[in-house]
Structure formats: structure tokens, C-alpha cells
Amino acid sequence: MNFASRAEYRDRIEKVVIYIHDHISEPLDLHTVAEVSHFSPYHFHRVFHGAMGETPQDYINRLRLERAANYLTKAREMSITNVAMACGFSSPSTFARSFKQHFGVTAREYLRGWYLSSLADACGSQVCTMTVEDRHEWNVNIREVPAMHLAYLTYLKGYNPVEICKTWERLDTWAISHSAYTESTLRLGISMDDPLITPAGKCRYMAAITIPPAIKKDRVIGILDVPAMTCAIFHVTCRGDEIQRNYQAIYKDWLPDSGMQPADFPCYEVYRDVSEATYDGIFNMDIYIPLKPM
């Protein structure tokens, strides 16, 4: 097996995934997306389908609809028409047809409570009754988080702990070989999709570390510059299978009373303790929820 060649293919597809994520509200045609990958447009379609399990257009359409579902449930001040335009649909009618075909309900039905009823069905009533007040170990802090220069690798096929650990191992190997770690390095896990909206095997995870500005992109890692933004920060100590329950409680019980709304950047985790000697299946981390005024 040619590992160098396989890594190059993976790197090119990851570039496309990040590009689509960053430009999802804009027109995206096959030629433009193929240019990002540096594959010929004649072959890009098959290469992307082989790596991702769906065509580029199907992938773009699904991401647009899933972003729309996120807006409907987490940015309630947006009208359905504004949601459609913000997600790159050519018209509200096109959005309405696509949304119902994908989710089985209209956007208005989704907005009125379909999401929360699905949350209860999928996760049990305990999720829906959990509140921030019930979790006394949470120390909620709202503050301005400085801009960050990140090196990252992605895992694009779900929040599988084993595969995510392998992604972190690859990033760790790169960081050590490039002397990227410093005393102030932060380790971030960026969950790019909500598993209650996106199919489990298609959720995207980004393993990232803060690096000095002098370190640039190479063939192994990607570079992401995150702007300064206001975040609500929740300190959490929990098992891996409890992480999503914490997110659900924050979005259901804390956020609606906060006077703020989610900003247009994914939530992420900053891991406080990554020592193998002390790791016992418990995550000690901070959950960051980017915010903006209502």
C-alpha cells in the first residue's frame, strides 16, 4: 500500500470538505469544488464519492439542509426564508421541497417541535429534564476568546472514539516532529455536526492544536485561523458517552435563558488533561459555545 499516496488523497478531500463548509451559503458547482481538490473535474466526482460515500452534489445538499435544521432549532429569530437564503438555496420553494424530502416534515413543523420530540425519543427523558442547575460541577463563564491559529486533521465518518484517537495520534506525531507544542498549546476537538441532525456515520470531527503563527500548512495538516469571538465556557468532567448529553442540556436549558444565540461557528471542546498515565475514560474538558447577541 502506498501510504504517501493515500495520505495525499485524504488531504485533498479534507480540503474540499472544509471549503464546502466555509462556502455553503454560496453557489458551489462541480468545477469550482474540483479545483480545490486539484483533481480533474472528469475524475473528481468518482474520487469524492469513493472517499465520502456520496456524490459532491448530494453532500452539498445534505450539508445545506442540516445547517438549515441547525438554524431552525438554534437561531429561532431567523425566518424560514432567511434560513433558506443563508444556506445557499436559490429560492424558498426549492428549500421547502428539499427540506421535506430530506426530513419528512416541513420546515415549519420542524421549527414547532419535531426536533425536541426526536431528542426525547433518541436520548430518553433524562436528557430533556437535565438542566445546568442540576450539574453543579459546571462552571459557566462567558468571555471573549482570542483568535487562534490551528493545525488540524479531520475524521469525516462519525464520532467514533477509536478512529478519533487515531486521528489525534497522527496529529501528535506531526506536532512532535515539527516542534509545534509549547507550554501554552491548547488541544481542541471541533464537532462540526449535531448527531441529532446529521447521520451518525457522517458527522465530522476536527482534531486541532494551537500553533505558533510561523508554522504554515504542509502536506500532512491543514491550517485554520479562528477569529476572536465571545464564548460561553462550561467546565465538564464526564465519560465519553455523556458528552453529547451535556451539549443537549446546554442547548435546551441554558441557551434559551442566556439572552444570547449561537454564533456561526461550531461548538468545540478544549481538553485539559490528555496524560495517558491519568486517563481512565473520564474527560476533563471545557465546552465552548460561540455566541452572538440576539
CATH code, 3-122: 1.10.10.60
Number of C-alpha atoms within 13 angstroms, CB side, residue 40? 2
Burial pattern 38-67, b for ≥16 Cβ within 10 A else e, equals ebeeeebbebbeebbeeebeebbbbbbbbb
- Of the chain, the percentage scoring pLDDT greater than 90 comes to 39
Q: How confident is the model at residue 138 (pLDDT cuts 50, 70, 90)?
A: low
CB-based contact 232:140 (threshold 8 Å): yes
Q: Is 30 a residue whose pLDDT tops 90?
A: no
Q: Is 293 a residue whose pLDDT tops 80?
A: yes
pLDDT confidence of residue 89: 93
Name the least confident of 4-8, 58-62, 230-234.
4-8
Q: Is 186 a residue whose pLDDT tops 80?
A: yes
Condensed to tens digits (0 to 9), the pLDDT of residues 148-180 reads 999 999 998 888 888 888 999 999 999 999 999
**Model confidence, pTM:** 0.75
Q: How far apart, in whole angstroms, are the C-alpha atoms of residue 251 and residue 231?
A: 13
* Mean of per-residue pLDDT scores for the chain: 83
Relative orientation angle of helices 56-74 and 92-103, to the nearest 10 degrees: 90
Query: Between residues 107 and 217, which one has the greater pLDDT?
Result: 107
191: buried, middle or exposed (CB in 10 Å: 19+, 13-18, 0-12)? buried
pLDDT confidence of residue 29: 87
Q: How confident is the model at residue 282 (pLDDT cuts 50, 70, 90)?
A: confident
Q: How far apart, in whole angstroms, are the C-alpha atoms of residue 122 and residue 112?
A: 18
Condensed to tens digits (0 to 9), the pLDDT of residues 245-281 reads 888 888 877 887 788 888 888 899 999 876 543 345 7
Q: How far apart, in whole angstroms, are the C-alpha atoms of residue 97 and residue 105?
A: 10
Domain ranges of the chain: 3-122, 140-293
Dihedrals φ, ψ of 139, to 5°?
Answer: -110, 100
How wide is the angle at C-alpha 23 spanned by C-alphas 21 and 28, nearest 5°? 110
CATH code, 140-293: 3.20.80.10
CB-based contact 25:87 (threshold 8 Å): yes
Dihedrals φ, ψ of 260, to 5°?
Answer: -125, 170
Is there a shared CATH topology between the 3-122 domain and the 140-293 domain?
no
